[in-house]
Structure 1
Amino acid sequence: MLHIKSRFICTFSAVALAAAFALPARADVVASIKPVGFIAAAIADGVTPVDVLLPDGASEHDYALRPSDIKRIKNADLVVWVGPEMEAFMTQSAASLPAQKNLEMAALPGVKSLLVRGDEDDDHDEDSHAAGGDDHQDKSHAHHHHGEFNMHLWMSPEIARQTAVAIHGKLLELMPQSRAKLDANLQHFEADLADTDQKIGAQLAPVKSKGYLVFHDAYTYFEKHYGLSPTGHFTVNPEIQPGAQRLHEIRTQLVEQKAVCVFAEPQFRPAVIDAVARGTSVRKGTLDPLGTAISLNKDSYVQFLSQLSSQYVSCLNGA
């Protein structure tokens, strides 16, 4: 009896072991920041989980990788990030990855032609900050953050679509047995994105001519795509308060009613916005460039765009 039981256990173990080897490989996808994770999650839905490095509430502009983060990058099957000019914290770890595991949005062939140059006011802002006594820190930021181009690429629906196509291709190489699901996910994403894009265009049309100020220049791709009319931004680096000269210029714009709204961000609610807007009729709103409150799922990127659109409309319309 014991002999039969022992043979059954051995046979069961062998079958289980064989089944384990027969299971489809699962790719471990790591995204640098949450909006990039939104795009990856749309393609990986039902196939493999997506992990985001940057914790909620942290800033992509000055994050430092922890040892556990470096390990996650090293062990990942696919790492998706924007590029070194945005995420300086990723540069060294990403450089050590083989090409098939490294997906840099800014380096995608179709994306390069869509890149928008950095804001014309960048040098001016640096001078203003420097006048405030933080010359070294600000110039260091300018070097690693913007460089030649504005790198908030996830704000562009078209760049997001091209990134999704690239992620689909990478995951297909890793898990060819999941082609049907990956194809369906990409098809759903592109269709949903096109539909959402139309709805947002209609939602924003009535406020396209209304001027406003954003806290930092994270929204250029979104603004250009939908034809919005920003009058400027407080700062290039949200970690550094704008200088006195810049604040005087902004205050003048508000007094002359060139802007009807000023936007803060969930991660940064500087008192400087309240101070500059005090005594004017300008409204104050909040834009969330990272979708902090949105959970990763197959529809999270279009939810992110829709939320951003609603945040614009709410303040610009005075709702």
Structure 2
Amino acid sequence: MKQWLRQTISILCLMGLLCPAVTLAANKQTASKTTKVLTSIYPLQLIAGLIGQSAHATGAALKVSTLLPAGSTPHDYSLKPSDIRRVLDADIVLWMGPDIEPYLAAIVARVDQQKVIDVSALPGLHRLPLRSLVEEDDEHDHHDEHHHDTDFDPHVWWSVENAEVIVAALHPLIRGVTTSEQGELGAIERLFSEIKEKLAVRKKAAKAQLPSFIVFHDGLQYLEHDIGVSSKARVVLSDDHQPGIRTLLTLKQRVQAESVQCIVAEPMSNLSIIGKIEGDQPLTRVMIDTLGWGSGSYVDMLSAAYDAILHCGTPSTKVN
């Protein structure tokens, strides 16, 4: 009977009657298992991509993309009609929430909220408070206003613990992933145990070798917290803010008082400002993109940041 069935299928395939239908059905089945995840920013795409490394995601097809084009930021981006279609067509929308990304709020409100994950509202998320430019400064004139609409630092993706919280929230929504709560938690724990192990050596080296430093834009507080260090000051609190003369003077005094040797900036930072706060000894300048553009994975993003911080101990020449 089985031999006859195989022969019949072979004949029908040769006649072009059955195989195309079988192939089409298989393709439809694969497509139906594919979960399209749209993230608002690139670091969330890297974190969502960790799902594919989970042992319990076997057989689950995941397509993760970022709404913003490479190199752009939520602060200066205008939505296009095609962007709106992508938000509405996604199986899951992973974003930072209406307070952090107000430009997306009206569109995300049109999506079935069962398919939406607001990272800023996740239970268990570690939230660090917003910082001033210069800590322990009692004079209000030197404390520029914060330019975020939240009461916590929104750059939560730099914390490995927060990445684990995000993956745990996303994991059950992916088609093909086990629905066993115990199985999910076990897979996530194993995944992040491996991640922490991979990063442990770099983290230890960064903490041991990092000299006194400041950051240009206050977007790396969670990274500092993970390593166990703290910047002595911040030059700007947001991308659209420039420090005044009094602030620059205070920063220069802090650089001298704390023997600051290094400044961590971003590719888009206005580096001309650095010359106004450094003394005769030039500050070593290292670059870390807070949105992780160019990183191939979440671990790559963190590894590159740790490696960049290690360069803070490398002497620099002054650039005018």
Pairwise CA distance, 1:102: 0.7
Q: Deviations over 1:55-87 (max 9, x none)?
A: 222123332222211111110001112223332
Q: Give the aligned partner of residue 211 of structure 1.
A: 212
**1:307 aligned to 280, 304, 307, which one?**
304
1:99-248 aligned at under 5 Å gives the runs 99-111=113-125, 114-121=126-133, 142=147, 145-171=148-174, 174-176=175-177, 186=188, 189-207=191-209, 210-248=211-249
- TM-score normalized by structure 1? 0.79
Cα distance in 1 between the residues matched to 2:117 and 2:46? 15
Residue 86, structure 1, aligned to residue 100, structure 2: yes
**Secondary structure at the counterpart of residue 49 of structure 1:** strand
Instruction: Give 3-state SS (helix, strand or coil) of 2:216's partner.
Output: strand
Is the CA contact (8 Å cut-off) linking 2:204 and 2:227 kept in structure 1? no
- What's the counterpart of residue 267 of structure 1? 268
Q: Distance in 2 between matches of 1:107 and 1:101?
A: 15
Evaluate the alpha carbon distance shift between residue 19 and residue 207 of structure 1 in structure 2; reply closer, same or farther with a 3 A threshold. Answer: closer
Q: Does 1:48 align with 2:45?
A: no
Check whether the contact 2:168–2:185 (CA below 8 A) recurs between aligned residues: no
d(CA) in 1 for partners of 2:103 and 2:133?
A: 25
User: Where does residue 284 of structure 1 map in the other structure?
Assistant: 285
Q: CA deviation at 1:176?
A: 4.4
Does the CA-based 8 Å contact 2:216-2:263 persist in structure 1?
A: yes
TM-score by length of 2: 0.79
Structure number with greater Rg is 2
CA-CA distance at 1:121 after TM superposition: 4.6
C-alpha contact (below 8 Å) 2:267/2:289 kept by paired residues: yes
Per the TM alignment, residue 304 of structure 1 is displaced from its structure 2 partner at its CA by 0.9
| Alignment partners' CA distance in 2, 1:158 and 1:218 | 17
Q: Offset at 1:161? A: 1.2
Identity within the alignment, %: 27
Instruction: State whether residues 35 and 91 of structure 2, in contact with CA within 8 Å, keep that contact through their aligned partners in structure 1.
Output: yes
> Residues of 2 paired with 1:178 and 1:7: CA distance?
41
Partners of 1:315 and 1:33 in 2: how far apart? Answer: 27
CA spacing shift, 1:264–1:19, aligned 2, 3 Å: closer
